[in-house]
Amino acid sequence: MAEEVYDYNVKCKTCRTTFTVQLFDSHEKNLFVVDKKDWFCDQCKKDYFKAETDKRLNEQKSIGFSELTGTDKSVSWGTKIREELINKVNYLKQSLSFDLDEEKELSDKAFEAFFSEWHQQTTAKWWIDNRRMNVRDISNRVAEIKKEIQP
């Protein structure tokens, strides 16, 4: 069965520029998609991702992290991963409960030291390489630090 390719003119939702897209379904379906979907031109897409990255970066800066180094694409991805990993740490931290104030204090210190280690990681590559780190990995490292700093 021969597949037909159609070019369609769509309008960018942000800047209202008209641009062409290729769609591969039946003409009828394509017209529906052209009409219903929100389209964004390449430049607006790029601007959108940059704005998202800047927003994440500002949040991360407010808790001691710095800008990542790397290509635009890897910085954008690395910053997103970093946000997800920070969320995992905070999730872990909030899930803990302590009987004694001293225990909580030690735990807080360990988390602080843990974040200090992460503050040193400023290449996008490191975050991308470590993107599969899970709550258990984080918990293990925090436990190690706890042992190291225990009085």
What single letter denotes the amino acid at residue 141? R
DSSP codes of every residue in 84-105: HHHHHHHHHHHH---SSHHHHH
**Binding-site member from 41, 68, 81, 124 for Zn ion (CB under 5 A):** 41
- Residue 49 or 115 with smaller CB distance to Zn ion: 49
Token digits of residue 97:
């409960």
- Residue 13 or 104 with smaller CB distance to Zn ion: 13
**Binding-site member from 21, 31, 33, 44 for Zn ion (CB under 5 A):** 44
For the bound state, the minimum distance from the C-beta of residue 115 to Zn ion, rounded and expressed in Å, comes to 38
Instruction: Give the Å distances, CA to CA, from 149 to 35, 106, 113, 116, 146.
Output: 61, 8, 9, 14, 5
For residues 133 and 108, what is the distance between their CA atoms, to the nearest angstrom?
21
The residues with which 9 forms a beta bridge, in sequence order, are 20
- Residue 21 or 106 with smaller CB distance to Zn ion: 21
For the bound state, the minimum distance from the C-beta of residue 18 to Zn ion, rounded and expressed in Å, comes to 10
Question: Using the rule CB under 5 A, is 15 a contact of Zn ion?
Answer: yes
- Residue 42 or 105 with smaller CB distance to Zn ion: 42
Give the binding-site size for Zn ion (rule: CB under 5 A): 5
- Residue listed under structure tokens 């009828």: 28
Residues that bind Zn ion (CB under 5 A): 12, 14-15, 41, 44
